[in-house]
Chains A and B, each alone.
Chain A
Amino acid sequence: MMKIEAIIQPSRFESVKEALVEIGIEGMTVIEVRGHGRQKGHTEVYRGREYTVDLLPKIKVELVLPDQLVNQAVDAILKSAKTGKIGDGKIFLTRVEEAIRIRNEERGESAL
């Protein structure tokens, strides 16, 4: 099992979701986050006073998938989230030890 954490542009979220549903992925967790990588922020000016806003709004999609689905999912996210501009985000993969379904205490991949 692998966990995919994809941090993407909010404007790309709908197409990422559609792409994931298309390859048969049923569950995901979505979090509104703020941050920046190389993109940095922008400045806002209110009555002559400048403010630097360096944390920008992003969407983080979290998925835990059986190994054989991971490559497919990563490809789907890459294709649907890319605009080609700086600030498109990142994908992180981590190995997951265990998954448990709370309702019936199923364990392992069948709990996903």
Chain B
Amino acid sequence: MKRMGMWCCSVLMLWLLGTPLLAQTPSAVASASSPATASTPEVPPAVTDKLNALEAKVVKAQSSADNAWMLVSAALVLMMTGPGLALFYGGLVRRKNTLAIMMQSFALMALITVRWALVGYSLCFGGSGPVIGDFKMALLRGVGAAPNPDYAGTIPQSTFMIYQLMFAIITPALITGATAERMKFSGTVLFMTLWFLIVYAPMAHMVWGKGGFLNASLGGRFPTLDFAGGTVVHITSGVSALVCALYMGKRVGYPKQAMPPHSMVLSFMGACLLWVGWFGFNAGSALASNSLATSAFVATHFGAAAAALSWSLAEWVKNGKASALGAISGAVAGLVAITPAAGFVGPRSALGIGFVAGIFCYLMVTKFKAIFGYDDSLDAFGVHGAGGTIGALLTGVCARASVNAIFGEGKPVGGLDGHWGQVGNQLVGILCAWGFALLGTMVILKIVDVTTGIRVAEEHEVEGLDITQHGEEGYNLES
């Protein structure tokens, strides 16, 4: 029975992955049928003025539409950190650490925002170096209503700036899942500040910044397809999470003592908010309110759904029950894996990627972690590191020019287009993200260890971080 189930799963998986997008209609090619007429008869100036005015209005209308969607997307991405991630992680910890883990997410909303204005935005998107930006836009100099045509030509650069900031906030917040229930608040603040500068900023510049050597649309040497942050967000945070878990060691009592989630209800609400927020994360990464945004929106949704089902299915086969935690963890794993692919694949590939990611992350979280015995408290590596890696790899396989001709009209994009070299490019991107995260995090942990310290004292850990780090309690049942 079990074997048959497994067999069926793999057939379904192969079908989902392998089906060429037969029904996919080629995206509407803008008909460029406006050859300059050779001899223009004289046009009365009044008509020219009218045409100019009309053109200006068209530009303004498009900018308004794109800007509306991008502002909403930015807000959706912030919602993923607070309350989304804060609730998701908050429910998974024990009661005595609820407020502390939520506070870590919230602190990052404030901390990274200020760092972003000071130097962060400029380091990620300023200049055109291969590895990191510059300081030209430090303190947001020159960032205003005028668009930055390198990145998003139809929206104010301020909109692009605030949208990208929300990514920089959630990425370090993901790491707190691995350090949960035992990291000092002071250590967290210092770690995250350094991590943002040393790991996130270079990685974001390499993949998304002008001149970055992994940038796929602005002529990087190894064009890595990463639509919304599979490498930049999920691999970097997930791998750093693993390093943190290994460096810090296990929580007191792990794995003998039972540490079940204290409120699945909070986690459930958090996961649902993450799912909704992810539309801003992925569809917003089109940086315009266009058909590519729709395509990414659809892929995101299908990826999440397929992974929720496949994780649940795996659990059902293994334990005889499909748990709520399994379903929501699967959805998050699917969302992670579809993140790099969202703007490059059609809905059927999205289903396939989600299905694979759900099972892969389930195995990482249940089997792999048990074999190696590290204490990644809330599975930041098992879901984000693993899901991000498999997603980035499958993006290279499934990306289609018919969805997003990023290398130019008519040029193949991913393996299914016949361009298998893209899988190699993806590997370079993945290795860079892993390498940067591993090395950067080790250096940062050393620095934090000798300054503020990383781990709370054992008695504080037993008492709980709510009281010992913040002097309050998440639940004051007597008041």
CB closest residue in chain B, given A47:
B365
B221 within 8 A of A: no
B153 to chain A, nearest CB (A): 44
Q: Are A44 and B365 in contact (CB under 8 A)?
A: no
What are the residues of chain B within 8 A of A52 when measuring CB–CB?
A: 258
Most buried by B among A44, A45, A47, A49: A47
Q: Are A47 and B379 in contact (CB under 8 A)?
A: yes
Q: Are A46 and B365 in contact (CB under 8 A)?
A: no
B385 to chain A, nearest CB (A): 15
| Total B residues in contact with A, Cβ cutoff 8 Å | 18
Cβ contacts A33-45/B at 8 Å (1 or 0 each): 0000000000011
A34 to chain B, nearest CB (A): 15
What are the residues of chain B within 8 A of A47 when measuring CB–CB?
A: 325-326, 329, 365-366, 379
What are the residues of chain B within 8 A of A92 when measuring CB–CB?
A: none
Known: A51-B258, A51-B260. A46 touches B366 (CB 8 A): no
- List residues of B (308-324) whose CB comes within 8 Å of A's CBs: 315, 318-319, 321, 323
A80 to chain B, nearest CB (A): 31
Known: A51-B258, A51-B260. A46 touches B370 (CB 8 A): no
A24 within 8 A of B: no
A84 within 8 A of B: no
Q: Are B255 and A46 in contact (CB under 8 A)?
A: no
B261 within 8 A of A: yes
B367 within 8 A of A: yes
What are the residues of chain B within 8 A of A49 when measuring CB–CB?
A: 255, 260
CA A46 to CA B369, docked complex, whole Å: 13
B1 to chain A, nearest CB (A): 20
Q: Are A45 and B379 in contact (CB under 8 A)?
A: no
CA A29 to CA B404, docked complex, whole Å: 70
Q: Are A48 and B260 in contact (CB under 8 A)?
A: no
Q: Are A46 and B325 in contact (CB under 8 A)?
A: yes
CA A51 to CA B321, docked complex, whole Å: 15
CA A44 to CA B315, docked complex, whole Å: 13
B251 to chain A, nearest CB (A): 13
The 8 Å CB contact of A48, one of B258, B261, B321, B370, is B370
B376 to chain A, nearest CB (A): 10
Q: Are B367 and A46 in contact (CB under 8 A)?
A: no
A56 to chain B, nearest CB (A): 15
Q: Are B325 and A48 in contact (CB under 8 A)?
A: no
B165 to chain A, nearest CB (A): 31
CA A49 to CA B382, docked complex, whole Å: 14
What are the residues of chain A within 8 A of B365 when measuring CB–CB?
A: 47-48
CA A47 to CA B370, docked complex, whole Å: 11
CA A69 to CA B379, docked complex, whole Å: 59
Cβ contacts B197-232/A at 8 Å (1 or 0 each): 000000000000000000000000000000000000
CA A24 to CA B7, docked complex, whole Å: 65
Most buried by B among A45, A48, A49: A48
- The 6 closest A-B CB pairs, nearest first, are A48-B366, A51-B258, A47-B365, A51-B260, A45-B319, A46-B260
Binding site for B on A (CB under 8 A): 44-49, 51-52
Sample of 18 more A-B contacts, CB < 8 Å, known A47-B329, A51-B260 = A45-B315, A45-B319, A45-B321, A46-B260, A46-B323, A46-B325, A47-B325, A47-B326, A47-B365, A47-B379, A48-B318, A48-B365, A48-B366, A48-B369, A48-B370, A49-B255, A49-B260, A52-B258
